[in-house]
Each structure stands twice: as C-alpha cells, then as structure tokens.
C-alpha cells in the first residue's frame, strides 16, 4: 500500500488545492433573510438605491454654509430624521436646526455640532476659534454605495454585518448555497453510544458528536451514521452509505494497528488518496482523499435521504477524511484540514485557516520532529495577546482540550520555545 506522508504545509496546500476542484456548481436556495444567518451567499447583493439616499447629517446641530462660521446666523427652521426640509434653500447668514440622520437642506454645505454653538434670542454663533470645513458632519448621497453596485459578493457568510447590509438593501429573501452533506462515521469495537451501558474499558463515542457540532458550525448538514465495528464488512457497508454524501468524515481505524482497516476498505471503493499521513502531532495518521460518489440526496416526506445511483458514475466525488480516533487529534485535524474543505464545499470564498500571533506566557519544551498543535489558552487585552499551553494527558484528553480555546503551533525541529516568543495560534 503506497503511503504519502506530507509535512503540515504540504498537507494544507494539498487540501487547499483540492478545494479548487471541489468548488463546482452547487444548488441554490432562496430563504428568508434571517433563515439565511450563517449560510453562504450564492448571489451578490446589489444596492437597490444610493446609500445614503440623501446628504445625511451625522450630528445634532445646525446646517449652515461653512463660510458663514464667523457670522451671526439667523435660525430659520428645523429638520429632523425622517423628514425633508420643505422651506426655501438655505441662504447666506442662515442656519437650520438639524438632527442626526436628517437630510441636509439645499443650500447648506456643512453641519456645525450643537455643542459648538451658542444661541441667544434666535441668533446663532459658532464658538470663537472654531472652523468648519465644507462637508463637515455630512455624509453625501451615495458616498457609502451607489445604486446598482455590489455591496456583498457571493461566497460571503451571512453574519450580522452582512444581514445589516442585505436589510439596508430591502432584501427580505436571500439566495444561499445548499449546505454540503457531511456523513460522520465513527469506527471502533470499543465504542458505545451515550445511552448504552458500558464497561470500564469501553469508550463513549464522543467523536461523532464533536464532529457533528463542528460540521454544523462550519455550515454543513450533518448525518451521524451508525458506528462501524472494526470489521471489513461493517466498514464496507458504512463507507458505501457515506459515499452518497458530499464529504465523509471517518474517525478511528487509520493508524497502523491490526484492526485499522479504514484505508484498505476505502481503496476497495476506488478511493484516490491525496495524503495518508501528515507530520503533525497530534493527528499524524490523518488521511485525505476522494472516491466516486455513489448516490445523491432526495427530498422525502420525512426530510432528506440518500439513494444510490443506478447506472454509470456521473463524475461526482465524495471527499473523505480519515481522522485519528483520539478526540483531540480528530479536532486538530478538523480545524487544520476539514474546515477548509467544508468551507469550500459550502461555497465560501475565504477558505484557508486563520492563524493569529501571540506571545508565549510560559516557556515550552521543543525538540519534536513534527509540527505540534497543542491545546492552548489565548488571552489578552490592550497590552497584547498571550498564549499558554494547557497541561494535558495527550491526545485523548478532551477535558484539558476544553480548557483551551485554540491550538498553539510549535514548529518542528526547534529545541526550546522561550517565554515571550511570538508564536502562531489557531483559534477554534
């Protein structure tokens, strides 16, 4: 069996390269704006009108001609947000009281803040020494966007800021991509489900829940398939089911043990492997590839279900990751490799993982020959961001992992990471 073990950088490049071929045409749905929260825009949002639609005051004060600042000004009226000045154009020596968000009357070219003025018996004076620029405290019509311009490109996730833009353009419904379908297959003879009685030496199938939560957070539709026992027959059956989904996440069974059969069975399905391991710790046995998709999803009365294709292969792929069974390894591999692929399948344009920099709050011993991703706690405020490695019992230690909020990256071959060193951190 040919192995392909890559460095971390090579493995990530390989995933990112594959995301490009995975970014084919995908189904589009039209949903209510709020239902679209967290989904990916399938069509750009275009401004339906100039924003602002009028010259908008950004302060409470007086609309004036900037050049009149030194004069005694006559207040001729008032305009508030939601109305439009209906009097004559503002003339020389005149001021119109104006509220934030109101349209600046014709003839005025600036707004002076009320705090900078004195009003005595209808006569307004700007405080001595204050100057006023033309355009000060006014956002001109169309300065934020012009009608017809793209304000949100396709491929963006609809978060609150994007929903704000869509709502400002009057979009009650948005076009979003259909969510990628992600099958989760935990493998292992030792696994028990949460409601089953268990022996001391058995392990609860936590991975399948973890992965489901990660897939949902990453914009996928997830299905937890039945656990596959470490037999060829069981794995065969489960992988056959998983190969009707867009992405299949297997956990366990990819190490070198006698019962680690996942890769072998994947090969029986015609799998192509992009890598069969990465020089990372935890997560070294991670496997990434694709196999011919054998089915698709249909809508039924009880929701969606997968059905095998009959006839020849239609050219579509199911991507898969074989994740190590150890829960922290699986989570690290998800953050590094699965999340970018999931984002690509979801139609997002921003795909690569984002690393931040922080100073080590405590020294860390190095000397590893692989890139390490250790559970770590990132904290900080105005004075900068620091990170500290969480003490743990290895890659099965989900409790320690949950005490952190990310993974500190410790490059291979470095003997010692001193306190204060700037290091990279992958947030989760």
Looking at beta carbons only, is 47 or 191 nearer to ligand AMP?
A: 191
277 binds ligand AMP (CB under 6 A): no
Binding mask 337-376 for ligand AMP (x = CB under 6 A): ----------------------------------------
Determine contact, residues 341/18, Cβ cutoff 8 Å. Answer: yes
State in angstroms the smallest separation of the CB of 205 from ligand AMP.
4
**Using CB under 5 A as the criterion, which residues of the chain lie in contact with Mg ion when the complex forms?**
188, 252-253, 325
Q: How far apart are CA 260 and CA 252, in angstroms?
A: 8
Q: How far apart are CA 416 and CA 403, in angstroms?
A: 24
For ligand AMP, which residue of 252, 322, 404, 406 counts as binding (CB under 6 A)? 252
The residues, any chain, with a CB within 8 Å of residue 125's CB and separated by 6 or more, are 72, 73, 117, 118, 119
308 binds ligand AMP (CB under 6 A): no
Residues numbered 208 to 227 that lie near ligand AMP (CB under 6 A) are 208
206 binds ligand AMP (CB under 6 A): yes
State in angstroms the smallest separation of the CB of 161 from Mg ion.
43
Count Cα atoms within 13 angstroms, Cβ side, for 40. 24
Determine contact, residues 263/290, Cβ cutoff 8 Å. Answer: no
State in angstroms the smallest separation of the CB of 222 from Mg ion.
21
Determine contact, residues 387/425, Cβ cutoff 8 Å. Answer: yes
For ligand AMP, which residue of 18, 251, 318, 331 counts as binding (CB under 6 A)? 251
* Helix, strand, coil shares, percent, the chain, to 5: 20, 35, 45
For ligand AMP, which residue of 18, 51, 207, 281 counts as binding (CB under 6 A)? 207
Determine contact, residues 369/413, Cβ cutoff 8 Å. Answer: yes
Q: How far apart are CA 32 and CA 53, in angstroms?
A: 25
For ligand AMP, which residue of 36, 218, 220, 324 counts as binding (CB under 6 A)? 324
Stretch in the footprint of ligand AMP (CB under 6 A) among 108-116, 203-211, 212-220, 416-424: 203-211
Looking at beta carbons only, is 223 or 253 nearer to Mg ion?
A: 253
Determine contact, residues 229/265, Cβ cutoff 8 Å. Answer: no
Binding site for ligand AMP (CB under 6 A): 186, 188, 190-191, 203, 205-208, 251-253, 255, 257, 324-327, 396
């Amino acid at each position: 069996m040919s192995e392909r073990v890559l460095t971390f950088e090579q493995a990530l490049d390989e995933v990112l390269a594959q995301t490009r071929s995975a970014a084919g045409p995908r189904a589009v749905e039209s949903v209510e704006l709020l239902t679209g929260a967290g989904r990916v825009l399938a069509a750009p949002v275009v401004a339906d009108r100039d924003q602002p639609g009028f010259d908008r005051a950004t302060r409470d004060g007086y609309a004036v001609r900037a050049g009149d600042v030194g004069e005694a000004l006559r207040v001729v009226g008032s305009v508030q947000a939601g109305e439009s000045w209906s009097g004559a154009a503002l003339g020389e020596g005149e001021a119109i009281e104006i509220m934030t968000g109101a349209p600046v009357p014709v003839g005025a070219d600036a707004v002076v803040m009320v705090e900078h003025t004195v009003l005595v018996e209808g006569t307004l004076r700007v405080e001595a020494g204050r100057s006023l620029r033309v355009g000060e405290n006014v956002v001109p019509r169309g300065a934020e966007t012009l009608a017809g311009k793209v304000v949100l490109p396709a491929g963006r996730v609809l978060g609150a800021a994007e929903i704000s833009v869509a709502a400002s353009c009057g979009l009650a419904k948005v076009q979003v991509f259909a969510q990628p379908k992600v099958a989760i297959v935990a493998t292992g003879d030792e696994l028990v489900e949460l409601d089953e009685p268990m022996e001391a030496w058995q392990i609860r199938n936590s991975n399948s829940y973890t992965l489901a939560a990660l897939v949902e957070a990453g914009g996928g539709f997830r299905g937890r398939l039945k656990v596959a026992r470490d037999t060829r027959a069981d794995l065969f059956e489960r992988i056959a089911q998983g190969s009707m989904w867009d992405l299949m996440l297997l956990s366990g069974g990819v190490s070198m043990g006698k019962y680690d059969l996942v890769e072998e069975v994947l090969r029986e399905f015609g799998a192509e492997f992009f890598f069969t391991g990465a020089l990372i710790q935890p997560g070294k046995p991670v496997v990434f590839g694709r196999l011919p998709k054998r089915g698709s999803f249909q809508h039924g009365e009880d929701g969606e279900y997968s059905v095998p294709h009959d006839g020849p292969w239609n050219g579509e792929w199911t991507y898969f990751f074989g994740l190590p069974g150890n829960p922290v390894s699986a989570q690290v591999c998800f953050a590094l490799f699965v999340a970018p692929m999931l984002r690509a399948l979801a139609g997002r344009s921003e795909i690569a993982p984002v690393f931040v920099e922080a100073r080590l709050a405590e020294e860390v011993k190095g000397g590893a020959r692989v890139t390490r991703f250790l559970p770590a706690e990132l904290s900080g405020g105005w004075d900068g961001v620091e990170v500290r490695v969480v003490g743990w019992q290895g890659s099965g230690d989900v409790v320690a992992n949950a005490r952190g909020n990310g993974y500190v990256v410790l490059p291979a071959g470095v003997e010692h990471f001193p306190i204060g060193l700037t290091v990279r951190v992958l947030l989760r």
